[in-house]
Structure 1
């Protein structure tokens, strides 16, 4: 998972194109995930086999659609959180990206022993309405 700054003049239509292109590529790599976009920043979470994630992440690092990439977490997950989305993008606001990225991402676990939400809890809390609604992918 990472955050990055959106390249200047990148609009919603271009984000649609990026997500469609990423989805096609990710299918081949066996990777799924979600891209949150607040108009200024991206937050992207990807999951899948280690070799597939590595190939996709290498492509992400060299993309010209963003800059100032900041990795938040990496490592194995217990289960996929976006198993049916080769890549889905969701419009969001700055506060949601801040809320998710500032969570505890150590170990990609759900629920801290002290009851505070982890980064995974925060992400899935934002995604759950989208997953439950069956709304079409962007």
Structure 2
């Protein structure tokens, strides 16, 4: 079967049909990359939370006359976690998307072997 750019292909009989090509190693590598991304996002989210609770920023915020320093610290804390558009929440959204993608990849890895014996054999031979 020969594929064109849209993923449609022609089989030996010359009829159009859908074509799905799946590389088992690529699927395993995508799963691994998602796992790494999820771990990195979780670490960044923890750091954002830690920044939001940091006691001292060293900007002179403890000095009552430095209201600008106090305002900056408040803004930084809110941007780290707790304010509108904060990093903690944004990272959480990305974390959820990465987890959803990983779930979809796992669903594909489970469903395709059931439909394709060759894929199942290749996927089972991976040492992941």
Identify the structure with the greater helix proportion. 2
- TM-score by structure 2 length? 0.25
Identify the structure with the greater strand proportion. 1
- TM-score by structure 1 length? 0.23
Bigger CA radius of gyration: 2
Q: Which has the higher contact order (CA 8 A, sep 6+)?
A: 1
